[in-house]
Structure 1
């Protein structure tokens, strides 16, 4: 996995503010044997893939990148040489200034533009927490070497407390800096990882400045919230159709029962396959009372999909476009599987993502 030097930031997308000038990145790098090192300017593209946007070479301890005007600031990374060492910064119109030491890129100073000043302010607080985490990791390794279980358990508790502190730090930063694009980046990740209820995310989003709400990241947050609202408990489940294993088109509204489970899964998904025996048990128990299941496979290979149906004994309705996380998954805001939606006879979503005994209990309750 590629290591990104931005503590507590994982999915990193983009932002707001406009200018008619382009951007210039002016950097200084102190350290031995740095001259001649090639740098690459990269960012995340669709599919969460890093792509190279530009390159430069360190000369006399300095480097420069220049680019055309951008309508929306975005998080980029400057990578050093062929390794994974890098410095994160916000590309926005204006002159961005970077000061770094080659042996401590994680502590580079970033500034020169409004969003980079705000980003650097966020990073300073994150780095304090990172140092605490690093110290704990060292202490944990020492305790493990000594087989000191008392210290290990104490350190584990401290680590969990530190993770909570990190979450609080990020959310407090969002609340206190509604004009920062990093606030939108944090909020988008919180939404994507479901770290907070959507109602809390909505409240924080509503407090962002109009400029940040209208940024690319802000728009993504808005769209995700609206899409999730369409598949939240109490909402009418969106109808869809896709090919069945025999190639016929089959629609959700054609297989509705008194209670219907829409089950997103795939042959390659180990947790899905592990849960399938329980779903089979629930189906066999309640199918004569009005339970219907529509399996939606996110497989890429039709043969794998059909074989898994046979191997696992999934004797209910199935559809798949055989296109991985396709338009149906997007329609239901599904970005991880297994994912299940339980519908009443009117197609209203009454529960989500239940497994094991909880699934059995809910279906029994609805069919009473």
Structure 2
């Protein structure tokens, strides 16, 4: 069954603007314009990813509101722009003085604002940005309805019928998701439809639903760099669907000893993807501990796979949370070999494997994990 809700915020690889530093290639797009009358030392910062985890982070000083950035991008990409009025970048992208724009090769993009607030910026000169604005016009009313009902549902309004509000939240969320899906279907030639499809699919998508949506996109869209990247993701996801044999992997444990998934054959094993920096993972750990202790004598175990990049942080979290099962990591962060193999785009994420090595369930959290283990091991 398709999920009714997706988290508004996830700890996902796609949400990270990682690589700092300018690309080596020659500039192939221009972003210029005027942000009110902002004086120096104010700066405009730009950050964007190109393919996978490769990206650019750059800045330029603003003079009397005017600026110009010349940079390189391999293909259309959604760039985050942020203004620092002091010219200091500390916690830059955590402020509200920011906006997004689609940049693309060969574009000369002009930005203008009615005042000094970049969040009200208007753009021209980017075909992909124009596509995005078509999308925003269609989806914004559904977003407004969804968000207003959501806020009311979780407000402390006296006498609020929470059960009725919960149903309204479901209706509003489903209408929003239907809007995303309809846009992708109606605009197969839009490059931005790939991003909308990604938004609709979520981190843990239904492969049977998403594959036909992707296949219906135009050849030009599917064979673009982002399209080819998404096709790779679909192929990876197809290897770890419920009912198929779990992809094999080996990885070092905390002492550097190689541990293989095949070492656990003959048992029910919960492969648990997590990280020390992931708040929801740490909140879920007590539930996994409870399940482990209840069923470890009934042919069940847990194999933890950390998406950490620093061993010290990983080890500290293991000890602090008192995790008792085998833990492995290659300390590659989101590039963790097993995470890539299992198409892990957000954590926490888990996969339940039966004694014969087949995947029988995914993303079991809280009560759902307890219920599934009770069903198969509670006899």
Partner of 1:361: 375
Distance change (3 Å), C-alpha of 1:252 and 1:159: closer
Partner of 2:97: 85
Deviations 1:217-257 (A, max 9, x none): 22232122111111112322222223345543232223311
Partner of 2:4: none
Partner of 2:272: 264
Task: State the SS of the aligned residue for 1:43.
Answer: strand
Structure 1 segment 1-368 matched on structure 2, within 5 A: 11=14, 22-29=28-35, 31=36, 33-36=37-40, 38-45=42-49, 52-59=57-64, 62-68=66-72, 70-82=73-85, 83-92=95-104, 93-102=106-115, 105-132=118-145, 144=156, 147-150=157-160, 158-194=168-204, 196-244=205-253, 247-257=256-266, 259-264=267-272, 268=276, 269-284=282-297, 286-287=298-299, 293=301, 295-298=303-306, 300-301=311-312, 303-304=315-316, 307=319, 311=322, 314=325, 319-321=328-330, 326-334=336-344, 335-345=346-356, 347-354=357-364, 355-363=369-377
Distance change (3 Å), C-alpha of 1:218 and 1:308: same
Gapped runs of 5+ residues in structure 2? 1-7, 18-25, 86-94, 277-281
Deviations 1:338-362 (A, max 9, x none): 51331342x2323333410212313
Gapped runs of 5+ residues in structure 1? 1-7, 15-19
Task: Work out the number of aligned pairs and report it.
Answer: 335
The two structures have a TM-score, normalised by structure 2, of: 0.72
Distance 2:341 2:355 in 1: 19
Task: State the SS of the aligned residue for 2:351.
Answer: strand
Distance 1:133 1:252 in 2: 42
Task: State the SS of the aligned residue for 1:102.
Answer: coil
Question: How far off is 1:9 after superposition?
Answer: 10
Distance change (3 Å), C-alpha of 1:113 and 1:357: closer
Distance 2:315 2:71 in 1: 48
Distance change (3 Å), C-alpha of 1:13 and 1:261: closer
Question: How far off is 1:177 after superposition?
Answer: 1.3
Task: State the SS of the aligned residue for 2:44.
Answer: strand
Deviations 1:44-89 (A, max 9, x none): 4499899632424254x55433335x43011113323345412311
Question: How far off is 1:21 after superposition?
Answer: 8.9
Pick the structure with greater CA Rg.
1
Deviations 1:196-227 (A, max 9, x none): 41222111111222222233322232122111
Distance 1:152 1:255 in 2: 45
Question: How far off is 1:270 after superposition?
Answer: 2.9
